[in-house]
Amino acid sequence: MSEGIAVGQLVRSRAGRDRGRAYLVVEVLPGSFVRVADGAGRRVAAAKRKNLRHLIVHRAVAAEIAEQAALGKLSDEQVRQALQRLLAEAERV
């Protein structure tokens, strides 16, 4: 079920206490799960495990996040900046 989901992809929580919050995918897990972070309230080191059924998946992807995650050098600051940029672009559309 995780086909079509990529590291760096913009998602929004559809269920749970964090409902409506925007995140970036920082890891794709086996099955239908991913780990998400926003770099502020939910840091990369403590990324939240979420079921894809509980997420609204957007088309926007931050390619630099995928590159840094592959290198193992992903920081909270990078996630915050990429998330802000993607959200600003989504508002303009």
| Residues 32-52 pLDDT 10s | 999 999 999 999 999 999 999
CATH number of 9-92, picked from 2.30.30, 2.60.40, 3.30.70, 1.10.8: 2.30.30
pLDDT tens digit sequence for 65-85:
999 988 989 999 999 999 999
- Asked if residue 93 has pLDDT above 80, the reply is no
The three-class DSSP label of residue 28 is strand
Report how far residue 79's alpha carbon sits from residue 93's, in angstroms, rounded to the nearest whole number. 21
64-67, long-range: CB < 8 A, 24+ apart: 64/8, 65/7, 65/8, 65/24, 65/26, 66/6, 66/7, 66/8
